[in-house]
Amino acid sequence: MEQRATPTGIKVIIVGAGFAGLTAAIECYRKGHDVVLLESFPVLKPLGDIISFGPNAGRIVARWGNGSVVEQIYPISIKNKELKFFKYDGDFITAQQVPPQNPVTPFLNGHRGEIHEIVFNHAQKIGIDIRLGCRVLEYLEEEGRAGVRVNGETIWGDVVIGSDGVRSKARELVLGYTDKPKSSGYAIYRAWFDSEPLLKDPLTKHLVENGDTHTGWLGPEVHFLAASLKGGKDFSWVVTHKDEADIEESWSLPGKIEDALKVIDGWDPVVRRIVELTPECVDWKLVYRDPLPTWVSKGGRTCLAGDAAHPFLPTSIQGASQAMEDGCVLAACLQIGGKDNVPTAVRAYEKIRYGRCRRAQLLGEETRDMWHKADFDKVKEDPEKIKLKREDWLFLHDCEANTYEVYDDVAKELNGQVTSDAEQPIPRQTAVSA
């Protein structure tokens, strides 16, 4: 089912079974570590709507179960050939071609809950100790070990990975303070539904009648992205817009269709009809968080991964991919470092990941600004200006191979240091889902 390296004797406690935690768990298993994965949800639910994994993450998933995990995701993943862009009033701008799929580095884009279920089931099948209904209330660390308090029990290990999402509790131990989110000035209405009503409507049927499509409409401070998937049977849209509200409770709240319609007042009738025909939507607020000064505790045995470490803007289209890279790199660092060098391995993980991740985060701000502040006269002359960047440094990166290549040098450098220090520049803020 899954190839496993020689056992390392390293016990890894992972908190949170999102894509960061599940990837860390599967990769730690593959690298020979012992894993306990704790998740607060009492049962698995297919939550969310559209999510994307770039080829840099597809490469990680493609190795699991001899390709069987990707084989399960392919049928539910989008198969569009191009991404069409329109100005908000309906003027066609350009079509960006989608490169053909590569089985080694597949691009995966589909329903978050459905993809999550496939990855979760794989982790369970290979025998990872996943414990649902386990909300970690406290993180502990002392000389030579780290642990968590959960359901009245204390569990100790060699290392704890806090992959507990945007409202991470692990962050408190790592940083030594609670960092509060701030309003970003943006929010997203988003929806996923059966495309039947769109097929019946002459204005929208072209979006779903011939299989999968991906379309964007761009306006001042607003963009609308729509996708049809599963041969056009399912439909998803997101509209990012200005919003000053502040929330902390949930990643999403119920939204109102009439509020979403206000955001696209005067837009292309096709966009308006899509929203009018949508049964329900959610309201996903975006809040700012400063990039964290470090992802690793002073003792080096507790670290952050995924959204807990580095929240992403949706326009980066890399949040889940970078969460996967974290898990993969961390597992490899622990394997190379071995049981006697866990703190160095964990600090090496941070050093290898921090700068790359920050660069990917900033791409999200660039894309948002490129779309929201587009000068359409200039875009008409040069439509390349609004196309999504598909950069080789991001997409062609093999994070596992790179870790094996650079680990020794990174560890040597770190061993001259007393405590972990993220040495990369920490400029601007980054917006995240609240």
Name the token pair of 343.
Answer: 């703190």
DSSP three-state, residue 126: coil
Judge whether 115 and 57 are in contact, CB under 8 Å: no
Q: Name residues contacting ligand FAD, limited to 21-40 (CB under 6 A).
A: 21, 38-40
Chosen residue from 181, 291, 306, 364 binding ligand FAD by CB under 6 A: 306
Collect all residues with Cβ–Cβ distance below 8 Å to 305 and sequence separation of at least 6: 20, 21, 24, 161, 162, 163, 295, 323, 326, 327, 330
Q: Is 327 in the site for ligand FAD (CB under 6 A)?
A: no
Judge whether 24 and 18 are in contact, CB under 8 Å: no
Q: Is 321 in the site for ligand FAD (CB under 6 A)?
A: no
Judge whether 322 and 310 are in contact, CB under 8 Å: yes
Chosen residue from 31, 33, 112, 289 binding ligand FAD by CB under 6 A: 112
Q: Which stretch binds ligand FAD (CB under 6 A): 160-168, 227-235, 269-277, 402-410?
A: 160-168
Q: Is 147 in the site for ligand FAD (CB under 6 A)?
A: no
Amino acid residing at 244: E
Chosen residue from 58, 147, 157, 165 binding ligand FAD by CB under 6 A: 165
Cβ proximity to ligand FAD: between 254 and 425 the closer is 254
Chosen residue from 1, 47, 104, 401 binding ligand FAD by CB under 6 A: 47
Q: Is 193 in the site for ligand FAD (CB under 6 A)?
A: no
- Stretch (H or E) spanning 170: helix 170-175
Active site residue 190: yes
Query: Least distance (Å) from ligand FAD to the CB of residue 38?
Result: 5
Between strands 182-194 and 281-289, the pairing is antiparallel
Query: Least distance (Å) from ligand FAD to the CB of residue 308?
Result: 6
Please tell me the distance from the alpha carbon of residue 283 to that of residue 249, in angstroms, as a whole number: 12
Please tell me the distance from the alpha carbon of residue 355 to that of residue 376, in angstroms, as a whole number: 33
Q: Is 16 in the site for ligand FAD (CB under 6 A)?
A: yes
Q: Is 161 in the site for ligand FAD (CB under 6 A)?
A: no
- Stretch (H or E) spanning 326: helix 319-337
190, 289, 301, 353: the active-site residue: 190
Cα-only R_g, the chain: 22
Chosen residue from 8, 11, 13, 19 binding ligand FAD by CB under 6 A: 19
Q: Is 76 in the site for ligand FAD (CB under 6 A)?
A: no
Q: Which residue has the tokens 């190379």?
A: 336
Q: Is 307 in the site for ligand FAD (CB under 6 A)?
A: yes
Q: Is 370 in the site for ligand FAD (CB under 6 A)?
A: no
Q: Is 239 in the site for ligand FAD (CB under 6 A)?
A: no
DSSP three-state, residue 307: helix
DSSP three-state, residue 297: coil
Active site (catalytic) residues: 190
- Contacts with ligand FAD by CB under 6 A lie at 15-21, 38-41, 47-51, 112, 134-136, 163-165, 169, 251, 306-307, 319-320, 323, 433
